[in-house]
Structure formats: structure tokens, C-alpha cells
């Protein structure tokens, strides 16, 4: 009997060792300086997060030396707090769209399961923002070296602030059309490398992002006030091509969206539930490298969403619970 118990004890010990560690709840402090696991300030502005397996990958703009393009950086995390720098997935080139004194903003990534490629879209421009194009890059891994495939104007329209939205296997480009003063929603081609059709034209908002919760689409955007913040708004619909609700604020009135601008909405899907996180940027026009990240829990009640300007909150990526 003692031998059996001893063997069981060894087996249980081995089982405990081989079980994957579960992420514990962590606390986020919006607006503070966030460092990666090597102690360096995180530079991932205007970006978004792509989850692969149990790991979150955060890609965004490197503003270390100000506005001109430097790098698109990628960080990884399993707990949504401790982010490890992986690599620069796009870097400055000697010339061309990614050359010196170029604007490369708001990189967002979706995965194409047919081509097995991660596809990135971004805003491409010159220093006076007169080109207004969408750029495309691809990689076989989310945090790999991306191959730049060039830029274009979607169906001839301006493209400034942009984002991507994946609805099943269909991808959409959300793009601010400055000349026509509209927010455009385009359906991408099956390989995601080009635009197939314009599916909806909406009032002009920049920094768009969209999430689908249940059968409802929630579209968020910012008024156009340069680097300064404003009360961002959102609208809802049950079909991308259908009738959208009136636009309304989702942060406390007068807080200018907790003094930030919408970047993305990130689902946190765990064993018990799915929570949602509002991701925003607090741009510091005088020192863009010190722009801060304003992430807040997104409250959901039927077709109404809201954020409060909290100094801290806790997320458990294992369960999906956000408090």
C-alpha cells in the first residue's frame, strides 16, 4: 500500500509539473508608463491585438523618434499585462512607402485561413498627409517579418485612419475618406490583399474600430480634432449593409473618452465568459514617444456599451472575467 501511494505521489507530482501554467488575474493602470518585460517603454501606438492560441500579440507604431515611420513593433503576452518584445515586423527602408519621413500609421492584422497568411493594413502617407493611401503587408506568422506589398486608394477613395474587421472568413476595411467626409466600409477580396466592394458609407469618423457581440455590430470612431481628444462615439446595426443607429457617446460626457482616442476593442475569451477591453491612445503631440495607453473595461447592456474612466482594473485571461 505504501508503495502504491508513493507511486501515486510521484505521478501526481509529474502531472503538476507538466500542466501548463494558468495566467493569474492581473491589474492594469491606464495612463501610466507601461514597460515590456525587459524594462523598455512599450512602443505600440495606434495598433491592435491578434490572439493566436493562448497568446495575445500586440502590434503598433514605434514613436520613439516622433511621427515619421520607424518600425511596427510586435509584443506578446498571455496575461494581458506582461508584454515581451518579439521583433520589429516592419522597419524603415531607404526609400518608398516605408522610407525616411514617411507616415505609417494604425497597423492592424487579420488571419486569412485560406492563404494561411496574416494580412496587415496600415495608413500610408507623406509628411503633409496628401497621399492618403492604404498599405498592405503579409507574413506567415503573426509576429514574423512582414513582406510589404504596396499601397493603393480603395476604389479611388482617400484612406487615412483605418482598421480591419473579420466577420467569419470575410474581412472588411474601415477607412476614413477625407475628401468625401465619410467613413467607408469595404469588403476585401478573398485573399484580403485588395478591395472587392464598397458595402457601406457612414458619417465621417476617424480611428474606427468594430466588434460583433452576439448578432449586433458595434462601430466606434472619433471626431476629427487632430491630436486633441474628444467624446468619441459609436453606432450599432444588425447588418453591416443595413440601417445603423444614431451615433452616441460611450464614455462619461466631457471626459473626451477618458482623454483618449479609440484604437481597438479587444475580446478576452476565457473558460467562463468573454470580456471586452476598450483600447485607446492618449496622444502627446509634444512628445509622441510618451503617448499613453488608455485601456478600460467595456460594459455591455443589450445594444448599449460604456466605459468608466477607472484608475485601475483587473483582467483574468483564463476565465475572461474583467473587474
Provide the CATH topology of domain 38-262.
Tachylectin-2; Chain A (2.115.10)
Grid cell at residue 260:
483618449
Grid cell at residue 160:
487615412
Indicate if the pLDDT at residue 125 is higher than 50: yes
- Tell me: the pLDDT tens digits for 228-257? 999 999 999 999 999 999 999 999 999 999
Grid cell at residue 64:
520613439
Task: State the pLDDT confidence band at 24, using cuts at 50, 70 and 90.
Answer: confident
Rounded Cα gap, residues 288 and 67, in angstroms: 7
Q: What is the pTM of this model?
A: 0.93
Q: CB neighbours (10 Å) of residue 206? A: 21
Positions of E strands within 24-161: 26-28, 45-52, 55-61, 71-77, 84-91, 103-112, 117-125, 133-139, 147-152
- Tell me: the pLDDT tens digits for 47-56? 999 999 999 9
- Kindly tell me the burial class for residue 239, based on how many C-beta atoms sit within 10 Å of its own C-beta (0-12, 13-18, 19 or more): exposed
- Kindly tell me the burial class for residue 116, based on how many C-beta atoms sit within 10 Å of its own C-beta (0-12, 13-18, 19 or more): exposed
Indicate if the pLDDT at residue 14 is higher than 50: no
- Tell me: the pLDDT tens digits for 268-281? 999 999 999 999 99
Mean of pLDDT values over 133-138: 98
Name which of 260, 245, 274 is nearest 307 in CA terms.
260
Indicate if the pLDDT at residue 17 is higher than 70: no
Domain ranges for the chain: 38-262
Provide the pLDDT for residue 22.
58
Provide the pLDDT for residue 23.
67
More confident residue, 113 or 15: 113
Provide the pLDDT for residue 20.
41
Amino acid at each position: 500500500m505504501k508503495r502504491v501511494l508513493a507511486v501515486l505521489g510521484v505521478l501526481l507530482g509529474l502531472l503538476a509539473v507538466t500542466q501548463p501554467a494558468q495566467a493569474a488575474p492581473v491589474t492594469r493602470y491606464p495612463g501610466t508608463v507601461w514597460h515590456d518585460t525587459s524594462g523598455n517603454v512599450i512602443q505600440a501606438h495606434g495598433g491592435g491585438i491578434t490572439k493566436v492560441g493562448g497568446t495575445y500579440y500586440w502590434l503598433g507604431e514605434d514613436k520613439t523618434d516622433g511621427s515619421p515611420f520607424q518600425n511596427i513593433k510586435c509584443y506578446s503576452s498571455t496575461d494581458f499585462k506582461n508584454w515581451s518584445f518579439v521583433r520589429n515586423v516592419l522597419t524603415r527602408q531607404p526609400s518608398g512607402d516605408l522610407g525616411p519621413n514617411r507616415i505609417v500609421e494604425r497597423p492592424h492584422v487579420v488571419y486569412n485561413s485560406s492563404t494561411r497568411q496574416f494580412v496587415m493594413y496600415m495608413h500610408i502617407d507623406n509628411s503633409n498627409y496628401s497621399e492618403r493611401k492604404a498599405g498592405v503587408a503579409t507574413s506567415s506568422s503573426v509576429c514574423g517579418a512582414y513582406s510589404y506589398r504596396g499601397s493603393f486608394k480603395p476604389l479611388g477613395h482617400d484612406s487615412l485612419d483605418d482598421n480591419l474587421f473579420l466577420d467569419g472568413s470575410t474581412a472588411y476595411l474601415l477607412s476614413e475618406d477625407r475628401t468625401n467626409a465619410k467613413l467607408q466600409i469595404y469588403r476585401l477580396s478573398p485573399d484580403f490583399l485588395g478591395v472587392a466592394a464598397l458595402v457601406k458609407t457612414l458619417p465621417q469618423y476617424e480611428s474606427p474600430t468594430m466588434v460583433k457581440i452576439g448578432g449586433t455590430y458595434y462601430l466606434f470612431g472619433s471626431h476629427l480634432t487632430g491630436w486633441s481628444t474628444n467624446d468619441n462615439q459609436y453606432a450599432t446595426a444588425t447588418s453591416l449593409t443595413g440601417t445603423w443607429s444614431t451615433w452616441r457617446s460611450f464614455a462619461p460626457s466631457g471626459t473626451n473618452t477618458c482623454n483618449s482616442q479609440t484604437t481597438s476593442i479587444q475580446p478576452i475569451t476565457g473558460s467562463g465568459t468573454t470580456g471586452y477591453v476598450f483600447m485607446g491612445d492618449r496622444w502627446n503631440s509634444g512628445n509622441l514617444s510618451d503617448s499613453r495607453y488608455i485601456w478600460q473595461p467595456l460594459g455591455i447592456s443589450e445594444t448599449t456599451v460604456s466605459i468608466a474612466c477607472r484608475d485601475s482594473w483587473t483582467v483574468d485571461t483564463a476565465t475572461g472575467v474583467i473587474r
